[in-house]
């Protein structure tokens, strides 16, 4: 029956790896040898299996590298074994083209089936738990932001903001936005640095972050601000909250700086 399906071996292939001398008997058909006796089909099959196996090996490495610092890393124990066993099956299929290790192929398929079933069960349990954690973190984030907003609004009419432990803004009040003359998206987080004079960005950015991280004791600095109407001189005085957050009070010193310059010019003229 096998001989009727495969047909006679082409003369050009008698001495090659598909030849009669390469396996015990004519009735034993190595996996992949009887593919209508077309070498290109066998080689394509084999090469594709090897490429798929290599890809299955690389995917877990990429997943681990990019997800290791996120909450999604908890899913890797259920995903990585499934991917690796699938790749192992393709490698065994490629080897079985020349080596009749069908027990190994069968063991690989059985392992893949068991791991696949375990992965489905594990993911069915892990995904809902992960979603619940994300919802809980989102709720906590909203609660923290709302509390920060209430605090910063209580400082009105002072222009003020509240930030997290790393210096990123959590909330700003209306006086702060009005003083800076920019949209709220432009003055929250570290976006505001784009409108700080380039020579003052170290003071307004890195030094403020160092203050929030506890690397310096006090923060009371001035920097030039690009207001849509004019260049302003702003002063920020920082403070710490008991919950680990930090706040800044922003005041306008533009007129004071202009007055000081006029005084200096007058004094120089008198001299």
Domain regions of the chain by residue span: 38-135, 155-270
Would you state the pLDDT for residue 199? 93
Would you state the pLDDT for residue 27? 40
| pTM of the predicted model as reported, rounded to 2 decimal places | 0.47
Per CATH, which fold does 155-270 belong to?
Beta-Lactamase (3.30.450)
Would you state the pLDDT for residue 5? 45
Would you state the pLDDT for residue 146? 73
What's the chain look like in SS3? Answer: CHHHHHCCCCHHHCCCCCCHHHCCCCCCCCCCCCCCCCHHHHHHHHHHHHHHHHHHHHHHHHHHHHHCCCHHHHHHHHHHHHHHHHHHHHHHHHHCCCCCCHHHHHHHHHHHHHHHHHHHHHHHHHHHHHHHHHHHHHHHHHHHHHHHHHHHHHCCCCEEEEECCCCCEEEECHHHHHHHCCCHHHHCCCHHHHHECHHHHHHHHHHHHHHHCCCCCCCEEEEEEECCCCEEEEEEEEEECCCCCEEEEEEECHHHHHHHHHHHHHHHHHC
Would you state the pLDDT for residue 25? 41
Would you state the pLDDT for residue 132? 58
Would you state the pLDDT for residue 200? 93
For the chain, which residues score pLDDT lower than 70?
A: 1-38, 71, 130-145, 166-169, 263, 265-266, 269-271
């Amino acid at each position: 029956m096998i001989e009727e399906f495969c047909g006679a071996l082409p003369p050009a292939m008698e001495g090659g790896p598909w030849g009669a001398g390469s396996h015990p008997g004519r009735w034993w058909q190595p996996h992949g040898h009887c593919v209508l006796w077309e070498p290109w089909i066998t080689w394509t099959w084999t090469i594709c299996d090897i490429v798929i196996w290599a890809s299955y090996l690389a995917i877990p490495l990429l997943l681990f590298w990019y997800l290791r610092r996120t909450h999604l890393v908890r899913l890797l124990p259920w995903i990585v074994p499934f991917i690796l066993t699938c790749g192992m099956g393709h490698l065994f299929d490629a080897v079985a083209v020349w080596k009749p290790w069908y027990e190994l192929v069968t063991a690989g398929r059985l392992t893949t089936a068991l791991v696949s079933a375990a992965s489905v069960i594990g993911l069915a349990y892990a995904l809902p738990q992960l979603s619940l954690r994300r919802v809980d973190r989102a709720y906590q984030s909203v609660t923290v932001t709302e509390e920060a907003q209430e605090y910063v609004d209580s400082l009105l009419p002072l222009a003020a903001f509240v930030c997290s432990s790393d210096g990123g803004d959590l909330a700003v009040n209306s006086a702060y936005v009005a003083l800076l003359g920019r949209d709220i998206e432009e003055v929250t987080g570290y976006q505001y640095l784009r409108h700080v004079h380039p020579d003052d960005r170290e003071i307004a950015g890195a030094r403020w972050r160092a203050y929030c991280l506890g690397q310096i004791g006090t923060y009371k600095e001035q920097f030039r601000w690009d207001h849509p109407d004019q260049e302003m001189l702003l002063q920020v005085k920082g403070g710490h909250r008991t919950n680990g957050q930090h706040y800044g009070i922003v005041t306008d010193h533009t007129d004071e700086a202009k007055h000081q310059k006029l005084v200096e010019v007058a004094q120089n003229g008198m001299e």
